[in-house]
Amino acid sequence: MNLKGRSFLTLKDFTSQEIEYLVDLAAELKENKKKGITGNHLKGKNIALIFEKPSTRTRCAFTVGCIDEGGHPEYLGKDDIQLGHKESVEDTAKVLGRMFDGIEFRGFKQDTVEKLAKYSGVPVWNGLTDTYHPTQILADFLTLKEEFGFLKGLNLVYAGDGRNNMANSLMIGCSKVGINFTILAPKSLWPADELLNVCKEYAKESQSTITISDQLEAVKGADAIYTDVWCSMGEEDLAAERIALLKPYQVNKELFQMTGNVNTIFLHCLPAVKGNEVTEEIFEKFDRIIFDEAENRMHTIKAVMVATLGN
């Protein structure tokens, strides 16, 4: 499959076959790394890593993944370049595209990453925006495949803020690859109808289902329960209000018992606020899987760079 030259901005732009290809390529690269084999797919490539928002997993994954494949990553923090301040995003994109072979962006506006892709002339990868977090979904899918052996037909429940970048991206990814997806959230935090309707069309094609519910019974039959922090970066002033609203949707022992499935696993994109969205007990019970998922950010991000830019 040839993804050379493509940007990775949202999973909307990729078919189910392309998404599964990236997950399988990541599994292969992970296996090689475990054997001490790294590659030179990115030899001679210079990669700009633009970070408006701080990061642990995304920054480390892009840096290590790039170096593993022989490339050179250059970190550009919000105080290092003039992006959107003294210089327009368009002009910055044109400059960086002349000097770098690929660009990663982690920040606030989806519009910024879209402009970088439009004007730079090189592959651009979305490391997180307020709207989407597509590289995280690949790591989640690799983790699910490692645990269950397949994706199509699994039942995944996302509990919490149902209209944040994780809920949006999981809904797109799951509906594309045929995972039955449920958002469990209070009605005020349900996803936008526009995106929901788009994903329902994807789900028709993949013969999967999308369910939006505020009833805890919606976890019945779940193979995996997923959650994220209740306040995304930049929303800290809403913390007290969110905690009150989302406390009933905490992932805890009682919620797990309601699945009726003794094999249900737990996923979290990290960082976690234990005691809020998930209890310490559940987090510790599934910590191996959670940190496999965190490690898988590197292997899947490496796969995206190799597939879209690699020699």
The region that residue 111 occupies, defined by phi over 0 for left and psi between -120 and 50 for alpha, beta otherwise, is alpha
Tens of pLDDT along 274-302?
999 999 999 999 999 999 999 999 999 99
Q: What is residue 232's predicted lDDT score, i.e. its pLDDT?
A: 75
User: Is 2 marked as a binding-site residue?
Assistant: no
133 belongs to the catalytic site: yes
β-pair partners for 102: 47
Q: Is 270 annotated as a binding residue?
A: yes
80 carries a ligand binding annotation: no
The one catalytic residue in 6, 228, 268, 299 is 228
Q: By three-state DSSP, how is residue 235 classified?
A: coil
Q: Which CATH superfamily is domain 136-293 in?
A: Aspartate/ornithine carbamoyltransferase (3.40.50.1370)
**pTM score:** 0.97
> Could you count the other beta carbons within 10 Å of the beta carbon of residue 278?
26
Residues 181/207, Cβ–Cβ less than 8 Å: no
Do the annotations mark residue 135 as ligand-binding? yes
3-state secondary structure of 177: helix
More confident residue, 103 or 79: 103
* Catalytic residue (choose from 59, 136, 199, 231): 136
Q: Is 215 labeled as ligand-binding?
A: no
Active site residue 130: no
Task: Please indicate whether residue 299 is annotated as part of the active site.
Answer: no
Instruction: Considering the candidates 6, 59, 106, 242, report the single residue annotated as catalytic.
Output: 106
Q: Is 72 designated active site?
A: no
Q: Is 297 a catalytic residue?
A: yes
Our answer to whether residue 161 is catalytic in this structure is no
Identify the band that residue 84 occupies on the pLDDT scale cut at 50, 70 and 90. Answer: confident
Binding site annotation covers 250? no
58 is in an annotated binding site: yes
For the stretch 136-156, pLDDT in tens is: 999 999 999 999 999 999 999
pLDDT, tens digit, 9 for 90 and up, residues 199-222 = 999 999 999 999 999 999 999 999
Q: Which of 6, 133, 268, 299 is catalytic?
A: 133
How far is CA 241 from its chain centroid?
A: 26
Residue 234 has pLDDT above 80, yes or no: no
Measure Cα distances from 162 to 201, 246, 287 in Å.
19, 11, 23
Counting residues of the chain whose pLDDT is more than 70, the rounded percentage is 100
- pLDDT surpasses 80 at 236: no
**Assigned CATH topology for domain 11-133+295-309:** Rossmann fold (3.40.50)
Mean pLDDT over 221-243 rounds to 88
Residue span(s) of the chain under CATH 3.40.50.1370 come to 11-133+295-309, 136-293
pLDDT of residue 159: 98
Residue 176 near residue 201 (C-beta atoms within 8 A): no
CB 202 within 8 A of CB 175: yes
